Amino acid sequence: MTTVAHSRNLLRAVAFATLLVALSASAADEAKTRIKGLITAVQGDTITVKDGNNVEQKIAVSSDTVYKKTKGLTGVIHEKTSPGALMPGLPVSIEAVPGDGGLTATEISFKSEDFKVAQQVEAGLAPTTARMNDFGKYDALATAEVLFDSGSATISAAGKADLDALAAKAKETADYQVVMQGFTDSTGNVAANQRLSERRAKAVADYLQQQSGLGPGRVHAGDGMGIAPDAGNGNNANARKVVVKLVVDKGVQAGKAK
């Protein structure tokens, strides 16, 4: 009986500790503030960001702040970078938590394309008109993630419905483009996963053109990216996917007659 009682007490203690960790993680997530805006100043460990409401906010950075630069039109691939990449004119997305007297950034991310434009502006090499600044920069109007069974490149009924919905929106959009990247989970060998990711991307591109009725000139050839960055270890169903985005070139849109 003593052993049984001890085991029950131990289980209760473990359950209570697990609950405390979950509550702590939930509270920490709720405390986060997410800000999207344009950096207007960088001074030491403080950056000033003008948000979507045209309000400037001062945000501190620390040695724990993570900096990410996203790549490609889908924005799925990213690489870590350094605080030296921050500069006035750079559009950023920030996760921050309350700190001493204000907000402290835990993560700052930005697009590779935006970083190049900000560099040009800082060097005085950027075109002077707003329209020219926007060429080659894309707005994503819709996104679909098509999931696949393990080892398969066959699009499910749910995936087809999502692609049809994205195609319908594309047909209502002037000068649209559709881009996509295929991924796999981390099971199997690297070479096989690369081929499978390419097959998945091609299957989606073919479906959009042959079944959903989008023009071949508007649908970019899908990129096979191999194992997804968020695949983790083993059989992860959410990593077996093609990420599809409906995008428009900001510069082209700005040049249209009103």
Ranges 29-33, 143-147, 155-159: which has the least confidence: 29-33
- Determine whether 15 is exposed, middle or buried from the number of CB atoms within 10 Å of its CB (0-12, 13-18, 19+): exposed
C-alpha–C-alpha distance, residues 89 and 18, integer Å: 44
CATH number of 31-126: 2.40.50.320
Task: Express each pLDDT in 218-255 by its tens digit.
Answer: 898 888 888 888 788 778 888 999 999 998 876 555 43
DSSP result, 133-187: HHTT-EEEEEEEEEE--TT--PPPHHHHHHHHHHHHHHHTSTTEEEEEEEEE-S-
Pair of tokens at residue 244: 């599809």
pTM exceeding the 0.75 threshold for the entire prediction:
no
The domains of the chain are located at 31-126, 137-254
User: Which pLDDT value is given to residue 11?
Assistant: 58
C-alpha–C-alpha distance, residues 82 and 103, integer Å: 20
Please determine, for residue 126, whether its predicted confidence score (pLDDT) is greater than 50. no
CATH topology of domain 137-254: 60s Ribosomal Protein L30; Chain: A; (3.30.1330)
Task: Express each pLDDT in 83-99 by its tens digit.
Answer: 888 888 888 889 989 87
Pair of tokens at residue 181: 């990247």
Beta strand 223-227 pairing with 33-43: unpaired
User: Which pLDDT value is given to residue 258?
Assistant: 33
Q: What is the DSSP letter of 237?
A: G
Our CA angle for 140, 183, 179, nearest 5°, is 30
